[in-house]
Amino acid sequence: MNKILSAFVLCFFVASVSAQQKVNPAIKNFGSVYDVANATEKPDPKMKYKILVEITDAAEKPDSLNVYLEAVATLYNLHVVGGVPPKNIDMVVVLRKMGTYAGFTNERFQKSFKTNNPNLPLITELSNAGVKFFACGQTMIKAKIADTDIVPEVKIATASLTVLTTYQLKGYAYINFK
């Protein structure tokens, strides 16, 4: 009887652990999330989600992924795991101040930080999922960042502030990731 009970407890534990594994439903290599099957509040799969994210800070260490940029992947994956089809997610990311470094080409990143830009695969994957990126032109001029220092996936805006006001007036929900 004791062996049967132990086997049952082990099976229950294994099932519980496997149910709590992280998943990546859309952004496959970043932003892992949990599928909370018993959640009573979930995103509405019929809604069109218009999300505007502002990133102003760099990664803690240059050779580390920008945690705020990865939070964008998490945000995207959370909506998808909650049942929202990717076609219903319209996301815009504004890189300003030190957040702009995430959008550096590898060459410019190496010149500035003596290491490869760890954010490039994430920017590519998010961009392939339809996420739009803008760098603040005001920040770039002040910091002497050339247009060619920014990867093609990141477009240059007159200013991050004008992107923020324009998209908020278009009905985008605003999230500030430092």
Which pLDDT tens digit goes with each residue over 103-159?
A: 999 999 999 999 999 999 999 999 999 999 999 999 999 999 999 999 999 999 999
Domain range for 8 is 2-177
What's the total number of domains in the chain?
Answer: 1
Average per-residue pLDDT for the chain:
92
| pLDDT at residue 8 greater than cutoff 70 | no
Which pLDDT tens digit goes with each residue over 50-63?
A: 999 999 999 999 99
Distance CA 135, CA 89 (A): 21
Spell out the SS3 assignment of the chain: CHHHHHHHHHHHHHHHHHHCCEECCCCCCCCCEECCCCCCCCCCCCCCEEEEEEECCCCCCCCCCCHHHHHHHHHHHHHHHCCCCHHHEEEEEEECHHHHHHHECHHHHHHHHCCCCCCHHHHHHHHHCCCEEEEEHHHHHHCCCCHHHECCCEEEECCHHHHHHHHHHCCCEEEEEC
The CATH number of the domain holding residue 64 is 3.40.1260.10
One-letter amino acid for residue 2 of the chain: N
* Predicted pLDDT of residue 19: 54
* Predicted pLDDT of residue 12: 47
